[in-house]
Every structure is written in C-alpha cells, then in structure tokens.
A and B are shown apart, each in its own frame.
Chain A
Amino acid sequence: DARVTQTPRHKVTEMGQEVTMRCQPILGHNTVFWYRQTMMQGLELLAYFRNRAPLDDSGMPKDRFSAEMPDATLATLKIQPSEPRDSAVYFCASGLGLAGYHEQFFGPGTRLTVL
C-alpha cells in the first residue's frame, strides 16, 4: 500500500531554531505539494514541485521558509529561524501530475510547535 511518509511526526523547538521537515512521496509520483494547516487559516498551499523543479512557492514566506527536492524520493521544507506563529501541522502530498488527473495523496503531517 503506497503512502506518502513524513518525518518527524512531531517537533517541538524554540524560537530562532532551524526546523527541517522531510517528505517521501509515493514512488512514481512526480508532483509534490507542501501545505500548512492552522485553526485560523485552514489548509494553505505553501509550494509545489513537478519533477523536482519548483513550480509555485507564492504561498511561502520567502524570508524564512525554503523548500527543495534533493532527489525524486525526498522533499524538504526548512524554516530558519522559526517563530511561534509557524506552529502548525505541515502536510506533504504527492500526485501523478498527469493532465486531467489531479488527485493528491497526503502524508500524515508534521505537527510543529515553536515555543
């Protein structure tokens, strides 16, 4: 049963520290999405990649957030320096990226708490 995996599942850190979240998309999926979920804002798209290239990162605060795909099996989302307002659940999703087929498969999320 192919699934998107994310690590860590939970992260508690102090303000100012660097945070790195990792995502392994489903094998064969060429599109990866990063979302942030908060009570106030709901689900927001931060960035997404196709074939490892960033297609849209307009939802991401550029000064402290960065997203990369070092290879096809790994996507990373970094926050440096972290702030309390970054506390949220960060979801990664992957998809096939085929025209007319846009289902996204979500990972379990990383729950980030910044003190």
Chain B
Amino acid sequence: AQSVSQHNHHVILSEAASLELGCNYSYGGTVNLFWYVQYPGQHLQLLLKYFSGDPLVKGIKGFEAEFIKSKFSFNLRKPSVQWSDTAEYFCAVNADGNEKLTFGTGTRLTIIP
C-alpha cells in the first residue's frame, strides 16, 4: 500500500520569502500525485496534479511542484509567498488505476505580513 510523508508540520515564513514543502511517497509502481490546499475553515481544493509527462507541474496561484521519481518526491514550491497563502497543504498519492487517495498529515503554513 502507498504512504505519504510530509516532514514539515508547521512552516512560518515572511511575505515574499520562497517556499518549499517536502512530500515523499512510498510505492513501487506508477503513481498520480496531488497537492491540495485547505484555507482556514474551508474545504480542500486542488492546487496541482501530476499524472504523466513533464515532471515540473504548474498549478494555481503561482505554485509548482516537481516530481523526482528517483527520490520518490513531489515537493511543492512557490518563489514568493503572500499572506493569503496561509493555509494547510496536503500532499496525496494514488497508485495508477486506483482511485483511493492517500494523504500526508499536512503542513501548516503561516505567512507573517
């Protein structure tokens, strides 16, 4: 079965700082990878997804993620964060052909104005 690790539990940054949130998964086969964001008091929304092709994926709100197969990683990045990026970020994976998503424990991001 697949699993997902997000090692950063809480990240605090100042506005305009660069962001990188780690995500590692364990599964030996083909995977689909996702980053979801949950703003305070809201539901999960998809930021970006990787199914195949270019391992550098661009999502909404200036976010991007890079799939590095050799490292089993799918880190989320943003060159310059804004206060409105304060939220919880979840990495998720499913094995290709299986709709079940396995989520990481999430990373709480706090942006200081």
Contacts and interface: CB of A to CB of B under 8 A. Distances in A.
A binds B: yes
Interface of A: 31, 33, 42-43, 45, 48, 50, 56, 91, 93, 95, 97, 99-109
Main DSSP-derived SS at the A contact region: strand
Contact of B100 (A56, A105, A106): A56
B103 A106 contact: no
B23 to A, nearest CB: 13
A87 B108 CA distance: 21
A15 B36 CA distance: 33
Interface of B: 32, 34, 36, 42-46, 49, 51, 90, 94, 96-97, 99-106
Q: Which 8 pairs, one residue from A and one from B, show the smallest C-beta to C-beta distance?
A: A43-B103, A106-B44, A42-B105, A106-B43, A108-B43, A102-B99, A102-B32, A102-B94
Contact of B99 (A42, A97, A105, A109): A97
Given A33-B101, A105-B46, A106-B36, 15 more contacts: A31-B99, A42-B103, A48-B99, A48-B100, A91-B44, A93-B44, A95-B99, A99-B97, A100-B96, A101-B51, A103-B46, A103-B49, A106-B43, A108-B42, A109-B43
